[in-house]
Amino acid sequence: MKRLLLRVLYVGRNAYWRLFQPITLGAQVIVVRDGQVLLVRHSYHPGWFLPGGGIKRREPLEAAARREVREETGAEAHELRLLGVYDSFGERKSDHIAVFVSERFDLVGGHDEEIAEVGFFPFEGLPEGVSPGTRARVEDYLAGRWGASGQW
């Protein structure tokens, strides 16, 4: 029942975006351990993604990144470094995404209900269905493109 509710909310959100074409701001985190990256699969949307999400009103970018990675994966990031800021103009919105990297963290809990699955994957063996934006950000990280910007 909760998955159905999440799916309905997801569809409603997309309808809102089509109608009002908002400007949004989000934060995502590349969580790295032993040559692997931590990815999430949502219960309401197919594919594998970096953990992250929207920034709340009056919430600093780094605080949002820490909150989202904790909620979605149970990881408590000790240190975050900004990889870059990216734009996405799909889904009829102007989305801006700050991508951070955490190489020092503790897994302290579970994930919230919007996440169906969490897993570490080798950089050279990302799972089938990984989103193109996630793949591109992982490639930026591996290539050392710090301070990057551009299209998601």
Instruction: Give the DSSP H or E segment for 70.
Output: helix 61-73
pLDDT tens by residue, 82-105: 999 998 887 676 889 999 999 999
Lookup: tokens for 150? 């551009």
pLDDT of residue 20: 65
Lookup: tokens for 149? 């910007």
pLDDT tens by residue, 106-122: 999 888 888 999 999 99
Within 10 Å of residue 105's Cβ, how many Cβ atoms?
A: 22
pLDDT of residue 17: 58
The mean pLDDT value for 17-41 works out to 88
Question: Residue ranges of the domains in the chain?
Answer: 2-151
pLDDT of residue 121: 98
pTM confidence score: 0.84
For residues 15 and 59, the model is more confident at 59
* Helix segments in 21-98, DSSP class H: 61-73
Report how far residue 30's alpha carbon sits from residue 141's, in angstroms, rounded to the nearest whole number. 8
Q: Domain 2-151 carries which CATH code?
A: 3.90.79.10
